[in-house]
Structure 1
Amino acid sequence: MLFRCVLVSLFVIALAGCVGDNLPQQPDPDFKPQNSYARFDIAQAPVVLIDQAHYNFHTINTRYRPFAQVLQSDGYNVKANKQQFSSKSLAKADILVIANALHKDNSRNWDGPFYSAFTPEEVKAVKAWVSQGGALLLIADHIPFPKAAEQIASAFGFEFANGHVQEVTFSTQNKTLSHHVILNSTARTGQITQVKSLGGDAFKAPEAAINLLQIPKGMKAVLPDKPFAVNEKTPQISIEGWSQGAVLEIERGRVAVFAEASMFTSQVYIPTGQKLGLVSPGAEQNERFLLNVMYWLANKGS
């Protein structure tokens, strides 16, 4: 049963499983954010750097264009990061977004072995920047992305499975969506009661973190040697109680980690016209959830 469920989920996430930018999976050209009122004006707009210096599968110009549109609808000043991480390159940023980074050697080869996307110096720079008041949104999807992000994730105490999991609908009703200020009702977003993930990976969060998206009972991750190479003999591990989304306060800064990328964007599979992500059935509140996650990251003193 698990094998069949995972294969169904892999049919969806396999749309993201090809390498390169000239792919049938592209940003949704018709996407428009639901949000129509910006929380920030130009004078106070937080600067959001979206990383594209590490062979990222998701960038402003590719599959995270709708992600950037959502942020811009709320008034954020969204820019592309094209430099290695350092105290200098991060100095003017309020929030750093890293989505599905890859090492150069894995940018065209997903058969392994898999390497860190970041140098030890970059990891130290990001951790120091967060500790001094920066905010990090780290997203690492299914294998091989968690391996690429392993060092930067572990610097904050997060440990990924580096496999595949099936899609999950998290909700307050089934108690997999944890109570946190991020879910609170506002005049603009209303109470968030459901968030949908479309597959991805899972991780163990450090004790000090708040597990927002808690993996439900009975779920397992499959751990193939390379992406999508799943069959009845593929190793499995229990991930019950693990996380697909968690937040952490560290000294003066904040960190949000998610194990699924498409839940925060909108993509179209060109051959069929199928759209998935923010526009998927069951993901109606995902955009509001993203906006609240970003607002929590932007307000480190509150």
Structure 2
Amino acid sequence: MSDAAVTRAVRLAVAGEPPRLVEKVELPAPGDGELLVDLDYAGVNPIDTYAATGMVGDLARLPRTLGVEGTGVLAGTDTRVVVTGAGTGLVRDGTWAGAVVAPRGAVVELPAGVDPAEAGAIGVAAVTAYDALHVLGGLRTGDQVLVLGAGGGVGVLAVQLAKLAGASVVGQVGSPAKADAVAALGADRVVVADAARLVAELDEFQPTLVIDPLGGAFTPAAVELAAVSGRIVILGVSAGENVPLPGRTFYRKGLSLLGYAGLVVTRERRATAIQAVAAGLAAGTLRIPVDEVVPLGRFEDAIRRLRDRSVFGKVVLATQE
């Protein structure tokens, strides 16, 4: 559809009203520093569900196509790229569409051999996992890593990336249904535990690095478990925004609590992470478990699955269906 002036797209028109699939959305002509990308897959992320309700994103820029990550080919070529960042889906049209005009800074070329559906899920969770481990967490060989929410979009990559770096990895999941799948990704041990049971389940494990996308009562549990001089990277609060930190334990252990802010990651950092993860996907040393590929016309089903936490890994929209 490289010559098309219109595309199907999931659009938010008015804050507070549900987004809708619009069959014909006019595409602007690419300006200086912009590229037309014919999209085929787009990831579904928690931030997309927030954008769909108007909780995040620039409400002065409506109507707007949703979707903060996706993949496709540069129009008129076979060059596969990832589109993410630079306000994609939040301040300008996003990836839940058949095509998008994106700024050059939001487009990263991929190597050959990356599965397109997996490529659609690289831009957010994979970048988060890579940055949380390597940039903020200072991951090194011999680290003992605890990945909370190991069955989620970030967790499934964090487990694999930590193992590839020579760390010992324990994954936490909230459902027995996800335990075997996380173990198959390479985790040395998987525990099924809520926040109240986490310390008891892992009383002899002292992580030097904790990846925490959950917050709530999980973060203080991580403080209790962490080794002296350990690092805790918090990148989400899906289990609760308020984090009651045990201050005395925290300072006596000399711990570091680091926050990951994906919306302010630089273009260069994002590209480095995407290229590193994509190289692993192409080589077969990494994989992104895609739980379900959902046609664009059923985007509400994808949002529902994310909200009810039934997803292992990622849900991806097929934007040409």
Higher relative contact order (CA 8 A, sep 6+): 1
For the criterion TM > 0.5, the same-fold answer is: no
TM-score after normalising by structure 1: 0.30
Higher helix proportion: 2
Greater C-alpha Rg: 2
